[in-house]
Amino acid sequence: MEQYFTNQPAANATQRTRIAVSLAGKKLSLEGAEGVFSARHLDKATAILLAGAPTPPAVGTFLDLGCGWGPLAITLGLLSPSAQVLAVDVSERARDLTRTNAQRAGVSLQVGCPEEILATTKASGGLDLIWSNPPVRIGKKPLQDLLLTWLPLLKPGGEAILVMGKNLGADSLQKWLCTQGFPTRRLASKKGFRLLAVSPA
């Protein structure tokens, strides 16, 4: 099977899976698909971010970086319906699922490939908030490149909330982000995961 961070065409009906989940206190029946991260349930890391992240502002431009089937973006849309919520993923299959799931949840999102969302972000003047369970298995250097693409788009006073497994290098990532000029503090440590808050450079 292809890795979840590669591009794949949209999943047909037989490839889709049902996901029963509660986001922002709302019980939802959403869809996953093979080849998209955590295709059958809400993964532990994302659940930790959702439980521990500060409440997002009422308005602003928010980004779900590496949206998968969309739980972070949908939660942002439910919590802050007046915000502009963007969702980006390299996988067409993931983007298609996020669009479908956002419609099921009754939230408005702008979902696109990196080039599209970068253009939208720059047109909006930057980002007020990033939420991400980043794709650490793409490798250290690609992950660093990914973060250095999006973190500089944070506005003054903005913040990125990242979740990562301690065994996957969360502590070294925190130190590296600080060396790159992005002050990073640990919000929580739970079940082997670190929840990090990153400030703009």
Q: Which domain holds residue 87?
A: 42-198
CB within 8 A of 2, min separation 6: which ones? 8, 35
* Residues 49 and 195 sit within 8 Å (Cβ to Cβ): yes
The reply to whether 22 falls in a domain is no
> What is the domain-level CATH number for residue 124?
3.40.50.150
Inside any domain, residue 91: yes
Q: Is residue 140 part of a domain?
A: yes
Q: Is 19 a member of any domain?
A: no
pLDDT given for residue 82 in this prediction? 98
Q: How far apart are CA 33 and CA 19, in angstroms?
A: 10
For 21-30, the pLDDT digits (tens) are 999 999 999 9
162 inside domain: yes
Q: Across all residues in the chain, what is the average pLDDT?
A: 93
The structure's pTM equals 0.93
Q: For the chain, what is the domain count?
A: 1
* Distant-in-sequence, close-in-space partners of 175: CB < 8 Å, separation ≥ 6: none
Q: How does pLDDT run across 80-106, given as a tens digit for each residue?
A: 999 999 999 999 999 999 999 999 999
Coil vs helix vs strand at 86: strand
The C-alpha R_g of the chain, in whole angstroms, comes to 16
